[in-house]
């Protein structure tokens, strides 16, 4: 394998074996997980290290997929037992997944110990137990760490709210979907929900609304983007994680963070996610190059300007 560059961006999250059902098909043993989608997407823009746990059943082929993008796997720990698995179903309205089963498996033992010689300056706390997000935050600190963003979901909001509340004051940006924003804050209105999230800690908030685009809140400034209009949506799994990967990958490649770079990062996130959903798992992203993202970004810019 060719030599790996120092990772600029680290992600902790799940590496999973999914079973997914959509109106367009049903697939077992799909390579998934919040950190897998995130790292794969971010690797088009930046150098990425993945911090995660898998079981002995984790296929070499899946490891090979991550290595295709030169993702640093020195913190991918193999435990006895089974890899985290998730089973989900999308009805005809593909905006939200119904979780049929979650098996935490090796996540119950996961104890991340970071040993970076030259620690990354950007961190993404992908969807995982907030207690594990805290463990990583305790090991990668500011001022070395320049920017930290985080994702979560209903599973953790409902089961680990107290730990999640401890994460929020320690991050710069929370990325979550509309239902999660409403559940976390108790606000039905998303503008007010974003403001309430900011009161809980992060300076910036990105609320994803599936096919209806995103609401961004950068410091005191709101902005909105549509989603990329698509004729084919086969499997929305991983849209949120690859959105965050495109967004954080771009941010970590930039010298400074302004409203303008943040908006471009959110636009790249939108474009990357638009490719993810066109096929099951990572299949569509595996066919992409950075040129594809640039081309679609140009189209996206034209179709949303007036
Ligand atoms: P999304 O981008 O929101 O569609 O995320 C999809 C991925 O999240 C799937 O590949 C799942 O393996 C993973 N996932 C599902 N439930 C959880 C959970 N409770 N914690 C962390 N990751 C999860």
Is any atom of ligand 1 closer than 6 Å to the C-beta of 133?
Answer: no
Is any atom of ligand 1 closer than 6 Å to the C-beta of 16?
Answer: yes
Q: Atom 1, ligand 1: which residue's CA is nearest?
A: 238
Contacts of 42 (CB under 8 A, 6+ apart): 9, 11, 48, 124, 245, 246, 248, 249, 252
Predicted local confidence at residue 1, as pLDDT: 43
Q: Atom 12, ligand 1: which residue's CA is nearest?
A: 33
SS (HEC) of the chain: CCCCCCCCEEEECCCEEEEEEECCEEEEEEEECHHHHHHHHHCCCCCEEEEEEEECCCCHHHHHHHHHCCCEEEEEEEECCCCCEEEEECCCCCCCCEEEEEECHHHHCCCCCCCCCCCCCEEEECCCCHHHHHHHHCCCCCCCCCEEEEECCHHHHHHCHHHHHHHHHHCCEEEEEHHHHHHHHCCCCHHHHHHHHHHHCCCEEEEECHHHCEEEEECCEEEEECCCCCCCCCCCCCHHHHHHHHHHHHHHCCCCCCHHHHHHHHHHHHHHHHHHCCCCCCCCHHHCCHHHHHHHHHHHHHHCCC
Longest dimension (CA), the chain: 56
Does the pTM exceed 0.85?
yes
Q: What's the CA dihedral at 296, 212, 147, 158 to 10 degrees?
A: -140
Q: What is the pLDDT along the chain (306 residues), one digit of tens a residue?
A: 445 679 999 999 999 999 999 998 899 999 999 999 999 999 999 999 999 999 999 999 999 999 999 999 999 999 999 999 999 999 888 878 899 999 999 999 999 999 999 999 999 999 999 999 999 999 998 899 999 999 999 999 999 999 999 999 999 999 999 999 999 999 999 999 999 999 999 999 999 999 999 999 999 999 999 999 999 999 999 999 999 999 999 999 999 999 999 999 999 999 999 999 999 999 999 999 999 999 999 999 999 888
Predicted local confidence at residue 4, as pLDDT: 66
Is any atom of ligand 1 closer than 6 Å to the C-beta of 210?
Answer: no
Predicted local confidence at residue 76, as pLDDT: 98
Minimum-distance ligand 1 atom for the alpha carbon of 151 = 3
d(CA 123, CA 109): 22
Minimum-distance ligand 1 atom for the alpha carbon of 156 = 19
Q: Atom 11, ligand 1: which residue's CA is nearest?
A: 33
Predicted local confidence at residue 3, as pLDDT: 56
Minimum-distance ligand 1 atom for the alpha carbon of 30 = 10
Is any atom of ligand 1 closer than 6 Å to the C-beta of 280?
Answer: no
Predicted local confidence at residue 306, as pLDDT: 86
Residues 43, 49, 53, 54: is their CA dihedral positive or negative? Answer: positive
């Amino acid at each position: 394998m060719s030599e790996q560059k120092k990772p600029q961006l680290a992600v902790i999250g799940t590496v999973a074996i999914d079973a997914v059902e959509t109106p367009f098909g049903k697939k077992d043993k799909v390579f998934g997980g919040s950190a897998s989608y995130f790292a794969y997407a971010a690797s088009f823009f930046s150098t990425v290290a993945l911090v995660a746990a898998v079981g002995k059943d984790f296929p070499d082929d899946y490891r090979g997929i991550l290595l295709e993008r030169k993702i640093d796997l020195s913190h991918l720990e193999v435990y006895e037992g089974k890899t985290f698995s998730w089973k989900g179903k999308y009805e005809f309205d593909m905006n939200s997944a119904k979780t049929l089963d979650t098996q935490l498996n090796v996540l119950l033992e996961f104890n991340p110990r970071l040993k970076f010689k030259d620690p990354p300056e950007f961190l993404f706390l992908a969807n995982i137990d907030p207690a594990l997000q805290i463990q990583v935050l305790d090991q990668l600190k500011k001022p070395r760490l320049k920017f930290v963003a985080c994702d979560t979901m209903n599973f953790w909001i409902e089961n680990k709210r107290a730990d999640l509340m401890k994460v929020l004051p320690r991050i710069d940006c929370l990325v979550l979907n509309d239902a999660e924003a409403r559940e976390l804050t108790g606000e039905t209105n998303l503008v007010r929900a974003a403001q309430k999230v900011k009161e809980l800690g992060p300076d910036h908030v990105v609320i994803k609304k599936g096919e209806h685009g995103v609401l961004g809140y950068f410091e005191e400034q709101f902005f909105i983007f549509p989603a990329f209009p698509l004729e084919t949506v086969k499997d929305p799994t991983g849209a949120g994680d690859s959105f965050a990967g495109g967004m954080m990958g771009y941010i970590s490649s930039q010298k400074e963070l302004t409203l303008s770079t943040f908006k471009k990062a959110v636009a790249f996130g939108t474009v990357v996610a638009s490719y993810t959903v066109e096929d099951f798992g990572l299949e569509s992203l595996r066919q992409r190059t950075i040129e594809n993202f640039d081309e679609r970004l140009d189209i996206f810019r034209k179709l949303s300007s007036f």
